[in-house]
Amino acid sequence: MANASTRFTDIKLIKATWRNAVFHARISGEPFILKQFYPPEKPDIVERLKTGLEVASLHMKDPHFQVNKCLEVFSAQGIAVLSYAPGVTVAEQLVISSAKERITLLERCGEWHLNYIGNRHKPSPFPKTFWESNLEQIKPPAMRPDKKYIFDVLRANLHTRIAGISGKTQITAATHGDFSVENIIVDTETLTGIDIEGTKWMPVSRESARFLVYLHSSYPQPAQTMEHGLFLEDKNALFTSGLMQGGEAPEIFRFFTGYHLLLRYMNMRADPDIYERILTMIGSYLEGNGV
């Protein structure tokens, strides 16, 4: 590590949380990203990160859809040295995009994820008991009664949905794990996935629902039509590539949309703009469900 730290110059902090810090740094003028993790299991985190990126790099053959490379890890310190992806995040690009450019960009995001998954997907039955207990384990923070009422109605709605989709086919895949408009870098030709910490097997519909709930609550496009809690044009754009192909029941995606609305509702109450949007999305989600 002594060698590693002396090699880097111009080290600048980009972002820090309780869990990790991200730095921009240079070696002989060339840019790199350093990501340092703090949890006690940091050696495992960086080893998984490295392996996950190696596997993904091997099968992502299309130069337009890439992941950042992991060049080196210092396991004991929980540090990963990553290749620098030039460009801006999709979130930053969306802010300056026209309605048409937005659709094209979201289509490319779907295509990026389809390329990331490659042939790593398999059908499995929707696990009813797992999701029932997962929902019950969500402990909402203290809320005013009117806010708690919305939480309870949505959670009850999700329980009803689980009963209806139990055992139906879901498509589980090697997903990004934190697929979001802030974790894809775009430049003129290429989309590069960043913030990947190993291969996360989960339903593609779950990862896609989280992407859209986050997008629509933080970067909305109000001119679009809202249906089942999401903006229809954005959703169709994300799925144009065939990301959701494979015979999964559409009700499973609907369930995960509600699940992520519930989590975001719970976590974003302190942000008035996002909270208002989430309320609108939940209203649309519950419409026509007799609740």
Ligand X SMILES: Nc1ncnc2c1ncn2[C@@H]1O[C@H](COP(=O)(O)OP(=O)(O)O)[C@@H](O)[C@H]1O
Contacts with Mg ion by CB under 5 A lie at 183, 195
* Phi–psi pair at 100, nearest 5 degrees: -70, -45
Classify strands 88-89 and 121-125 as parallel, antiparallel or unpaired.
unpaired
Residues from 252 through 281 that contact ligand X (CB under 6 A)? none
Partner interacting with residue 17 (select from ligand X, Mg ion, none; CB below 5-8 Å by kind): ligand X
Rule CB under 6 A: choose which of 74, 84, 219, 275 binds ligand X. 84
Is residue 219 within the footprint of ligand X (CB under 6 A)? no
Instruction: Name which of residues 53 to 82 contact ligand X (CB under 6 A).
Output: 68, 82
Question: Could you identify the residue written with the tokens 């309780």?
Answer: 18
> In whole angstroms, what is the distance from residue 225 CA to residue 223 CA?
7
Per-residue DSSP letters for 245-276?
Answer: TTT--HHHHHHHHHHHHHHHHHH-TT-HHHHH
The pattern of x and - marking residues 1 through 20 that bind ligand X according to CB under 6 A reads -------------xx-x--x
Closest separation in Å from C-beta 81 to Mg ion = 17
CA neighbours closer than 13 Å in the CB half-sphere of residue 30: 8
Q: Is 195 in the site for ligand X (CB under 6 A)?
A: yes
The DSSP letter of residue 177 is S
Per CB under 6 A, 144 contacts ligand X = no
What residues numbered 163-182 form the site for ligand X, per CB under 6 A? 182
Please name which of 199, 186, 175, 22 lies closest in space to residue 102, comparing C-alpha atoms: 186
Given 57, 89, 166, 190, the residue binding ligand X (CB under 6 A)? 89
Q: Which residues bind ligand X (CB under 6 A)?
A: 14-15, 17, 20, 22, 33, 35, 68, 82, 84-85, 89, 182-183, 185, 194-195
